[in-house]
């Protein structure tokens, strides 16, 4: 699955208020609840699943990017949220640099291959410097959605 397939306009937080990875996860899950992508009753269990995964190793992959993710039996299809921080978030990233772009995604339990492919597609896309710069400079959620919906440059 690609970023544009799992992130809708109402899943985008163009100005994350979070200062650390835990707050960023809460904020992005809250956005998914607010948009109706996940049920409010499942909020805590989903946050716990993402934070449990994050505790095993930070998903701050470097270059200002964080990709928190988890598998859960509380959803039926892959869903994601994208957040942008102008201040930078302490994500305990591999390169010890602050994170500006956070993509959180959830995969239904038992769909290991889909999980790996989704993670690989998002990581590959976010390693494109021009793409990330465009996201960082986009004016609002609609502009961000337009950027992620464009076909990837080969």
pLDDT digits (tens, 9 = 90+) for 52-66: 999 999 899 999 999
Q: Does the predicted TM-score (pTM) go above 0.85?
A: yes
pLDDT at 154: 34
Catalytic annotation present for 69: yes
pLDDT digits (tens, 9 = 90+) for 30-46: 999 999 999 999 999 99
**Summary mean pLDDT of the chain:** 93
Residue 153 has pLDDT above 60, yes or no: no
In this prediction, what percent of the chain has a pLDDT beyond 70? 97
pLDDT digits (tens, 9 = 90+) for 109-120: 999 898 889 999
All domains in the chain, ordered by first residue: 3-149 (3.40.930.10)
Residue 152: pLDDT band (50, 70, 90) is low
Q: Are 62 and 94 in contact (CB under 8 A)?
A: yes
Catalytic, out of 11, 69, 117, 127: 69
- The 8 Å CB, 24+ separation contacts for 52-60 are 54/21, 54/22, 54/25, 58/21, 58/91, 58/92, 58/93, 58/94, 59/91, 60/21, 60/91, 60/92, 60/93, 60/94, 60/99
């Amino acid at each position: 699955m690609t970023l544009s397939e799992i992130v809708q306009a109402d899943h985008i937080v163009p100005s994350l208020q979070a200062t650390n990875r835990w707050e960023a996860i809460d904020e992005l899950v809250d956005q998914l609840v607010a948009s109706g992508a996940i049920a409010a009753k499942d909020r805590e269990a989903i946050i716990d699943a993402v934070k449990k995964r994050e505790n095993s190793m930070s998903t701050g992959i470097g270059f200002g990017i964080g990709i928190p993710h988890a598998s859960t039996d509380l959803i039926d299809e892959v869903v994601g949220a994208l957040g942008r921080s102008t201040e930078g978030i302490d994500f305990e990233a591999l390169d010890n640099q602050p994170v500006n772009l956070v993509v959180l995604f959830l995969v239904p339990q038992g769909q290991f291959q889909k999980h790996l492919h989704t993670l690989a597609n998002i990581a590959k896309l976010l390693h494109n410097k021009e793409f990330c710069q465009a996201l960082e400079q986009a004016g609002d959620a609609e502009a961000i959605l337009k950027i992620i919906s464009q076909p990837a440059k080969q």
